[in-house]
Structure 1
Amino acid sequence: MKKETFQDKLIKRFYGIVGPLDEYKRREANRIGNICFMFSLPFLLVASWLALLLADKSPKLLATYFPLAILAFFFVVSGFIMLRGRQAGLASYDPDELSAKERKQVERAGLRAGIYFASWFYLWNAALAIWLDKLPPVAAFSSLKTLCSALFAGCLFGLFSHFIVRKRQLDTE
């Protein structure tokens, strides 16, 4: 059995592919990635050119809206990737083709996603409190508000992830 390369693991993780990365799934992932690149490159070139033009005249306006425009664009691109990936059947899998390790990963995907999200959310909120509110690091990391918000967000995210994985399993059966 051929060992998966790091690039294959990244492709599977990014597109939500469970099971073996066969030629069809690889071809569809490459096609979707190429379409997104063809839209992203001109957008980023034009946005960067406009940012250079506006940098001297209105830096505050640029600092406010440029990151928001890029963030909104990439949310649209991510939605496109998810929609086209679902239409192409990249997220579908046959439970019989999965190895024992992959079955275990699918079963606990929601829990793992919730824990990762809660951890990053906690660190992000503490870092923002240190940077924006000028709190000392000990106070920022030991804040009950930061901990409770991270736990709540992690639980919600984990539940949503669990239900999405469960729906995907029911769709494939």
Structure 2
Amino acid sequence: MRETVGTKVIKWFYGIRGPLDEYRRNEINRIGNNIAIFLLMFNLLLAFIASLIILATDNYEFTLSVVVGSMLFVVFGIYIYIIYEIEHHRLAQVDIDAKQVVKTKKKIFKKAIGLGVYFAVGMYCLNILTDWLPDRGSIVPLLTERSRVIEAIIMGIYFGSAMMLVDFHHIKKNPERIDGRASSIWQQQKRWSIICIILIVAALFAICLF
């Protein structure tokens, strides 16, 4: 049976690989319902508090800061909750054959590179936008500032590496069936990946210093 777009989005959001069976679907529905109920109550409470702040202080900028800060804090908390539930109920765990371990980890490595690039570009654009909006002067100096590029690259490397380690953690395999040659190949790839990350970070710090 072909997966719908909604199912693909759900699997991508929760980091689930393989079929979305009844157990995983029920757990995802439970997590989503808990989040929806909490957000409904939080939005009502936040709207009430924001109204009180405006009536008491007549300071709209302060009220906006409180609302935005509270929403960001809640989003971060919800993300932590989702990670806990996924790990606790092993929703993202992948059962693979020993022969597919190296191939699966190659896909994860390529995916991590793509996520790191997307995150770096997104943070680079967001950083420039937040600095440009208050004054709205020339945007060219912001685009060519070296520290911004280096900061975005470092954040992309760390984000991609973190996502790669999380995906590696979700792989379940039988150690007794692992092919020695496949394991040796992966160890070499892992070693070179770590060396490349270290060299990139060292080069970026050298550029910052000189």
Do the aligned partners of residues 77 and 84 (structure 1) sit closer, same or farther apart at CA in structure 2, a change above 3 Å counting? same
**Structure possessing the higher radius of gyration over alpha carbons:** 2
State the partner residue of 2:165.
Answer: 163
Does structure 1 retain, via aligned residues, the 8 Å contact 2:108–2:164?
Answer: no
Partner of 2:3: 4
Unaligned runs of 5+ in 2: 174-210
Alpha-carbon distance, 1:20 to partner: 1.6
Contact 1:117 1:154 in 2 (8 A): yes
Runs of 4+ with deviation above 6 angstroms: none
Which amino acid is 2:45 matched to?
A: V
Secondary structure of 2:19's counterpart equals coil
TM-score (norm 2): 0.71
Aligned residue for 2:43? 44
How far apart, CA to CA, are the structure 1 residues paired with 2:161 and 2:107?
16
Distance (Å, rounded) in 1 between the aligned partners of 2:152 and 2:137: 18
Q: Between the two proteins, what is the percent identity of the paired residues?
A: 29
Aligned-residue Cα RMSD (Å) equals: 2.1
What does residue range 107-118 of structure 1 map to in structure 2 within 5 Å?
A: 107-118=109-120
- Secondary structure class of the residue paired with 2:94: coil
TM (normalized to structure 1)?
Answer: 0.85
Cα drift, residue 131 of structure 1? 1.4
Task: Output the CA distance in 1 between the equivalents of 2:154 and 2:139.
Answer: 22
Secondary structure (helix, strand or coil) at the match of 2:24 reads helix
Alpha-carbon spacing, 1:7–1:105, altered in 2? closer, same or farther (3 Å) = farther
Q: How far 1:90 moved relative to its partner?
A: 1.0
Cα pair 1:118 1:154 within 8 Å, conserved: yes
Q: Does the CA-based 8 Å contact 2:124-2:148 persist in structure 1?
A: yes
Unaligned stretches of 5+ in structure 1?
none
Q: Which residue of 2 aligns with 1:79?
A: 80
